[in-house]
Structure 1
Amino acid sequence: MARVNALVGAYRLAHQAGDGRSLERLRLVAREVGRELPAAAELLRSGLAEQELRALCWNVSSFLSDQQVELIFDLKLRPPGPR
């Protein structure tokens, strides 16, 4: 669910707040996932309805590893393991 929320948040920042960094992150996601899921490019288009956005982010997130999401969005999805 954290992957979906990261994608939704980036979409909102990019398209509602005009945040260029978030748009660049969405471009990276679309590039990473694009071969397996061409619809990922829709993240670069503004105007998606909430339900459509969530469904798209859910689909896109299933093609991304936790590590990819952490690198692209600069966040930690997993708690650190024992040392």
Structure 2
Amino acid sequence: MAGLYASAALDTLGILMAMNFVFVEGEYSGSTVAVMGRNQVFATVREMPIIGGRGLFRFAREYVEATTHYFNTKSGDAVVEYNCYVMHY
């Protein structure tokens, strides 16, 4: 996964995320899924939209759900699970 994020909230930890999930093996190797949306970090499960992709995921749509399993407020380190639900042509 590659991406970037920026602050997107005044009174809570909310970030705007832009990221690509890159497939490097198997039948989807070379394809990507692009996600962009607001991530309210302290919510139990967050939903962000899939806005496209490339390769076999060109014109992809639907969403990802993010769940944090570990977050260190001092270092910013986190372990986050992303479940992707993808519709593509």
TM-score by length of 2: 0.22
Higher-helix-fraction structure? 1
TM-score by length of 1: 0.23
Instruction: Please say which structure displays the higher CA radius of gyration.
Output: 2
Higher-strand-fraction structure? 2
Between the two structures, name the one with larger relative contact order (CA 8 Å, sep ≥ 6). 1
